[in-house]
Amino acid sequence: MAILPSQPIGVFDSGIGGLTVAHAIRQLLPFESMIYFGDTAHLPYGDKSEAAIQAYSVKIADILVRKGCKVIVIACNSASSAAYELLTEYVRKDIHIINVIDPMVELVLQQFGNKRVGLIGTKRTVQSDVYSRKIHEGKKGIQLHSLATPLLAPMIEEGFFNNQISHEIIAQYLSDESLNNIDALILACTHYPLIKNEIKSLYDNKITILDSSEVIAKALKEHLEDERLLNKLNTPPAHHFLVSDYTESFEASARMFFQQPVQLERHSLWN
């Protein structure tokens, strides 16, 4: 069946982090409709096994395919590292899958040759070594220093950011000696753009903060343009929000990002 430009974009994450990606997509592609799936029943993905993340991701991808999405964005680093190749096979290449890792790696290779680059992310993302491996394969002499920051995603999910508690936790992580003298810092979790300003202030704006939400939105736009799937109809988009479990923090965050009333549809992965 042919894919039409008017079909929605599917976006999924374990919780609110992927809303930073959805927001960036909305800013860059204002006429595109989205179906967002927040797997709030299983967050955070960063401390789950690879097999569990793959199982969740396959179920969510199946839902998004049945909802008629023209492309699926994995708006989660943990799911991108654990399940991207599996999902690409699962949808049999009928629907293009975009992950958050490859566009960021491409940007780093283009702009930071022979530099020291830091990375913060979940345990799952850091332990997967996917960024280090892909950046090393690019042979640009980049020194990558990765640090697992497991408290940050659940802290943000609970609404603790831009306050004294978050500031102290972020400062403790960023004082790690592995991040000394870096030229740029990759925010390798889609939750982290919500604390980007706090991170910038701790570095006195002296290093480049690499925000995956902006990078992936640009990669999505390029794909839609290349495949002639960009929706050019000047009509208001329709956004739908699915969650595996209702949480007030998700609803409040969705309203904040989209500046409109949000109705959550509960959708269990195991129907």
The amino acid sitting at 65 is V
Q: Which of 76, 101, 144, 229 is catalytic?
A: 76
Query: Can 69 be counted among the known catalytic residues?
Result: no
Contact 232, 31 (CB under 8 A): yes
Compute the C-alpha angle 208/103/69, nearest 5°: 130
Q: Catalytic residue among 189, 215, 216, 243, which?
A: 189
Report the SS3 class of residue 192: helix
SS3 for 214? helix
Give whole-number Cα distances, 233 to 13, 31, 237, 268, in Å.
Answer: 28, 7, 9, 33
Tokens coding 211: 């925000």
Active site residues: 76, 189
